[in-house]
Every structure is written in structure tokens, then in C-alpha cells.
Structure 1
């Protein structure tokens, strides 16, 4: 009887009910803050999850210490994937006190290529000289990994015409002097990674009226 029960646990089956694995495991990464997320199995009630990770090409799976026996269907892997030059896998397993599901494995993940980059934050104000647009860069990890990054500022005039300006990573202020009083000007900002030929989405449109 003990041997039968042990076999059932290995198969994730107790009392004839199979413990299905989690579904759609993937990496969700923005500005190198990386989380493994998944969908609980459809036959779940109260489940706990174990998460492991490994570097592509390495044979051994490693436990994510802070993601053993967790309740929420997500696990922060920012520290484990901090070397952005490597490629990674994650896997997750659902558990109950009596059973464990099969492991489900993610697709291969590259922080350098797969992490989404945010647009910079954009602030506007007017001075006696014109409009000053300031950008706040993405989190420090992005600047650390991409010292060549720069920003684009898009000026959108009332007639819909756009004008484009570039700002390097060390200069975060742009002054627009050719403006008219009582006219409304709108702006967007974008982070550019030139060596990867990648860019962020544009920021939300922000507008200001010259008094």
C-alpha cells in the first residue's frame, strides 16, 4: 500500500485526482526587474508553488529560496537573472500536502533582449525663455547596462506637426525657445538603445500652454 501511495505522489495523483501543473509560465521583465508569472491549474483549490531556475547550458536546476512553498502565482527573479548577458530558464511546480504536479518550464529568456525598456518620465514647465522639458531616466540598472543610451523628445505643435530632439544620457533638460504666447505645445519622450537598435514606447502625451 505504501508503494502504491508513493507512486501516486510521484505522478501527482492522489485518490484518482490528478494535480495539474501550472500553465503559461513566462518571464515578465521591465527595466531588468524580472518576474516569473504563471496561471494556476484549473483544478486548483489551495496550492503552493515551488520555483527553480537555471542558466542556459547548465545541467542543474537551482531552487529560488524565497519562492519555495509560495501562494501567489509569481516569483521575483531579478537577482537570479542579474547577469544580462546570460540566457535563463525557470520552472514551477504546484504542490499540496499529498501531491506534487509535474514541472512546467518557461521558454528561454534573455534580460538584454527580452526585458522591456520604459520611456523616461517627462516634466514640463515654462520660463521667461520658453518651455523647459526634463526627463527622468529609467531605473539605474538600465543606465548601468546601457551607457550609450539617449532620449528622444517629440514636440507636437497645435497643427499636428512634430519636431524631434535628441538628448544624451547625461543631459536631461531641453529648452524650447521658439514658442508663441497662449499657444499649446505637447511632448512625448522615448528611451533609445542604439547598439541594440531598440527603443521604448513613447511616454504619455503631456501638454503645456505658454502664458
Structure 2
């Protein structure tokens, strides 16, 4: 009987060990890793795996063609499923990869790798912000310039300003990036005028979406 019990204990130990080992290697990796980039402010984002109660994440990056993955120092052992990579991807002429790994004190998931990312071509450009006011001479539309990084990379950029009249007619104006003010003199009192703005990158044949409609009534 003693021999049987020992054998039984041994088998139970092997079963527990195998179960423990199986759990430790079955940590699911994060899903849908991608770059989220607007005006060259770039973040790697991902969806936590289903067994994500107490997970931490490690993030690495590399330039396309380079063999070595580099740690993102501020994204080692982080809790949130995102990592700011603006500094790492600041050379907009390069192509990049990111990868992320989920960890617990007992296990690490496989790495999951992003698709290749180009800041120059994949970073969205935001529309300019508009501020409207009326003067004795008409309507003044002021444009807030884009982030310095956008201006640095696209010195040729300009704006399109869309004037939408009450009857639905639309008039289009072009404004150089260096000028931040457009004056509309041909206006009628008590009439309502609406505006939208758009950033244009001519050398890349790209443009932002239009900004939200902003309206003003001439007093």
C-alpha cells in the first residue's frame, strides 16, 4: 500500500507540474498592434489579450532593414496598452516596426509585430484650427499653424479655406502657411457665413480632412 501511495503522490506531482508548465507557456500575446500617428506624434497601440487581468507589457522597435530590436526604455513593464514612439520615429524618411510582449511574474507571451510604418506617408495630417471674428471691414478668419514638426517637414504646405454662404454656395481660398489671417470683405449684414479649413501637402499630393464647420453672423 505504501508503494502505491508514493506512486500516486508522484503521479499527482507530475500532473500538477505539467499543468503549471502548460499555463505558463499559454499566455496570449496582445492583438492588433498598430501605429497611431497624427502630425508625427506617433503612438503604438494594441488590444490586451483576454487573460489580461494583471499583465504588464514590454515594447521594442527597430528601423526597417536593421537586424537588432531596441528596447523602448519608457515602455518596459508598463500597464497601459500604448507606448509613445514619437522620439524613436522622429526621422520621417525611415520605415519602422514595433513589437510588444505581455508578461506576468510567471510567464511571457510571444512577441507580436506591427506592420511596417512610414511617418512621412502614414502619419495623418490634421486640419488647421479656425478662429472667426467680425470687424468694420468684414470677417477675419485666423488659422492656427500646425505643430512645428509638420512645418519642418513640409515647408511648402498651404491651407484651403472654404467659405460656405447661406444659400449653400461654396467659395475656396488658398493661404500660404506663413500667413495666418484671411479677410473676407464682401459680406452682408445679418448674414451667416460658415468656414472650413484644410491642410494641403502639395509635394505628396496629400491633404488633411476638412476641419469642423465654424459659423459667424455679421452684425
User: Does the 8 Å CA contact 2:25/2:109 hold for their aligned counterparts?
Assistant: no
Higher helix share: 2
1:39-70 deviations in Å (ceiling 9; x for gaps)? 00112220000000000000000000000000
User: Does the 8 Å CA contact 2:25/2:108 hold for their aligned counterparts?
Assistant: no
Q: Secondary structure at the match of 2:186?
A: coil
Pick the aligned partner of 1:111 from 115, 119, 123: 119
1:182 Cα deviation from its structure 2 partner: 0.5
d(CA) in 1 for partners of 2:81, 2:33: 9
Q: Secondary structure at the match of 2:143?
A: strand
1:43-100 deviations in Å (ceiling 9; x for gaps)? 2220000000000000000000000000000000000000000000000000001100
User: Does the 8 Å CA contact 2:143/2:180 hold for their aligned counterparts?
Assistant: yes
Q: Secondary structure at the match of 2:105?
A: coil
User: Does the 8 Å CA contact 2:62/2:97 hold for their aligned counterparts?
Assistant: yes
Q: Secondary structure at the match of 2:60?
A: strand
Unpaired runs of at least 5, structure 2: 1-23
With structure 1 as the length reference, what TM-score do the two structures score?
0.92
Aligned counterpart, 2:156 = 148
Pick the aligned partner of 2:93 from 80, 85, 90: 85
Pick the aligned partner of 2:140 from 132, 138, 155: 132
Aligned counterpart, 1:68 = 76
User: Does the 8 Å CA contact 2:59/2:100 hold for their aligned counterparts?
Assistant: yes
d(CA) in 2 for partners of 1:210, 1:165: 20
d(CA) in 2 for partners of 1:19, 1:69: 16
d(CA) in 2 for partners of 1:201, 1:181: 31
1:98-121 deviations in Å (ceiling 9; x for gaps)? 100000000000000000101011
1:116-166 deviations in Å (ceiling 9; x for gaps)? 101011000011110000100111110011000000000000000000000
Count of aligned residue pairs for this structure pair: 196
Task: List 4+ stretches of structure 1 deviating above 3 A.
Answer: none
1:17 Cα deviation from its structure 2 partner: 6.3
Deviates more, 1:23-32 or 1:40-49: 40-49
Aligned CA RMSD, in angstroms, stands at 0.8
Q: Which has the larger radius of gyration?
A: 2
User: Does the 8 Å CA contact 2:25/2:107 hold for their aligned counterparts?
Assistant: no
